[in-house]
């Protein structure tokens, strides 16, 4: 379980394609503080640490992504040197600064437009149509693992404002038109929709 508050921006050190995709991610987390089997959200995808260590004064951890994960997320777009939003799993007693995020991506969206708005950056995304009913103005959504507030919604398109702090502490300074992003809808929206279906059936 995560909160959508990015705690580090890692970098893809190398990629190895075999049955699954093995990725090494360079990070600023202390190597001895990364446990084997731990869950780390990488661009919003919950992945399991299968190895870790330090090299050249920088920590790293390895993860495996299955073919199913690659087909449902943007992890298939990863290249060596790409920057990645990272978040360690939530611990009991941690501050819940964003919203509840599971690390299970619901779909892949696309950046439609970016434009400056004051000191912020206004970004418009297009989500898969099946996710549109779960996205609401002033609601929460996780984009590449970061908890963001939805400003407006029009059909399958929605917009957010990225303040300078968010852009400085995530990979969002690299958002450009056409870039694919991982989307996870708010779990509360999912359960409300399910409840309404149940009531309508009953």
CA atoms of 170 and 148, how far apart (whole Å): 12
Domains of the chain: 8-88 (2.40.30.20), 107-201 (2.40.30.20)
Q: What is the pLDDT along the chain (202 residues), one digit of tens a residue?
A: 899 999 999 999 999 998 899 999 999 999 999 999 999 999 999 999 999 999 888 999 999 999 999 999 999 999 999 999 999 998 766 777 788 899 999 999 999 999 999 999 999 999 999 999 999 999 999 999 999 999 999 999 999 999 999 999 999 999 999 999 999 999 877 777 767 777 777 6
pTM, to two decimals? 0.93
Token couple for 8: 């580090």
Cβ neighbours for 79, distance < 8 A, ≥ 6 positions apart: 12, 15
E strand or H helix that includes residue 67: helix 67-72
- Nearest 5°: the CA angle 22, 26, 31 is 100
Strand partners, 55: 58
The pLDDT of residue 202 is: 62
> Are 177 and 139 spatial neighbours (Cβ–Cβ below 8 Å)?
no
The pLDDT of residue 92 is: 67
The pLDDT of residue 194 is: 67
């Amino acid at each position: 379980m995560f909160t959508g508050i990015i705690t580090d921006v890692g970098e893809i050190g190398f990629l190895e394609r075999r049955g699954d995709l093995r990725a090494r991610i360079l990070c600023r987390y202390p190597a001895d503080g990364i446990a084997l089997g731990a869950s780390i959200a990488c661009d919003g995808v919950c992945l399991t640490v299968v190895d870790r260590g330090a090299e050249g004064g920088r920590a790293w951890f390895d993860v495996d992504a299955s073919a199913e994960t690659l087909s449902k997320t943007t992890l298939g777009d990863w290249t060596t040197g790409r920057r990645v939003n990272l978040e360690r799993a939530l611990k009991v007693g941690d501050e819940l600064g964003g919203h509840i995020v599971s690390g299970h991506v619901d779909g892949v969206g696309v950046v439609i437009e970016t434009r400056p708005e004051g000191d912020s950056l206004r970004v418009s995304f297009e989500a898969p149509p099946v996710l549109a009913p779960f996205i609401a103005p002033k609601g929460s959504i996780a984009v590449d693992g970061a908890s963001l507030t939805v400003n407006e919604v029009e059909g399958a398109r929605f917009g957010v404002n990225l303040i300078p702090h968010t852009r400085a502490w995530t990979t969002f300074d690299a958002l450009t038109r056409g870039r694919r992003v991982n989307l996870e809808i708010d779990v509360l929206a999912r359960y409300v929709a399910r409840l309404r279906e149940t009531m309508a059936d009953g």
